[in-house]
Structure 1
Amino acid sequence: YLDLCFPAVRNPDRAQQRVHLILGSGTHFSERLGDRHRDAMESRLDAAGNEFLLRAHDQDASGLVLEALQLACVDPAGDAEFWKQLLGWDIVARSPVVLAHPSGAGPRLVLVREASPKTAGKNAIHLDLRLEQAESMEDALGIICALGGKELDRPWGTLPWRVFQDRSGNEFCVLAPSASNR
Structure 2
Amino acid sequence: MASRLVNVNFKARDDAALGRFWAQALGWGISGEGPGVTNVEPDGVAGPDPSAICVDVVTVPAPETVDYRVHIDLATTSAAHQAELVARLEELGATPADVGQGDVPWTVMADPEGNVFCVLEPREVYRDTGPVAALVVHCADPGAMARFWEAAMDWTLHEVTDEHARLRSSRGVGPYLEFLRTSGTKTAVSRAHLDVAPYPDDDQAAEVARLRSLGATDADVGQGEDVPWKCLADPEGNAFCVLSAR
Q: Does 1:110 align with 2:178?
A: yes
The corresponding residue for 1:169 is 237
Q: Does 1:53 align with 2:104?
A: no
Q: How does 1:12-23 map to 2 (within 5 A)?
A: 12=63, 13-14=65-66, 16-23=67-74
Larger mean Cα displacement after TM superposition, 16-25 or 1-10 = 1-10
Q: Secondary structure at the match of 2:158?
A: strand
Tell me by how many angstroms 1:153 deviates.
3.4
Q: How does 1:34-45 map to 2 (within 5 A)?
A: 39-45=104-110
TM (normalized to structure 1)?
Answer: 0.79
Structure 1 unaligned runs (5+)? 29-37, 59-63
**Is this contact kept in 2: 1:119–1:169, CA < 8 A?**
no
**Is this contact kept in 1: 2:142–2:180, CA < 8 A?**
yes
* Paired amino acid for 2:176: R
Change (3 A) 1:26 1:174: farther
Q: Secondary structure at the match of 2:172?
A: coil
* Distance (whole Å) between structure 1 residues aligned to residue 235 and residue 185 of structure 2: 8
The corresponding residue for 1:61 is none
Candidates 118, 142, 146, aligned match of 1:76? 142
Candidates 76, 80, 99, aligned match of 2:167? 99
Tell me by how many angstroms 1:27 deviates.
8.3
Change (3 A) 1:154 1:109: closer
Tell me by how many angstroms 1:101 deviates.
0.6
- Structure showing the higher helix proportion among its residues: 2
* Distance (whole Å) between structure 2 residues aligned to residue 160 and residue 27 of structure 1: 43
Residue deviations 1:37-81 (CA, integer Å, cap 9, x gap): x944321011121101110349xxxxx701110001121101101
* Paired amino acid for 1:112: L
Change (3 A) 1:109 1:9: farther
* Distance (whole Å) between structure 2 residues aligned to residue 51 and residue 115 of structure 1: 18
Percent of pairs with identical residues: 27
Task: Mark the structure with the bigger radius of gyration.
Answer: 2
Structure 2 unaligned runs (5+)? 1-48, 80-102, 124-129
Q: Does 1:85 align with 2:136?
A: no
Tell me by how many angstroms 1:154 deviates.
4.4
List structure 1 runs of 4+ shifted beyond 3 angstroms.
Answer: 116-120
* Distance (whole Å) between structure 1 residues aligned to residue 185 and residue 152 of structure 2: 19
* Paired amino acid for 1:45: A
How many residue pairs match? The answer is 162
Candidates 210, 214, 219, aligned match of 1:143? 210
Candidates 156, 165, 173, aligned match of 2:223? 156
Tell me by how many angstroms 1:4 deviates.
2.5
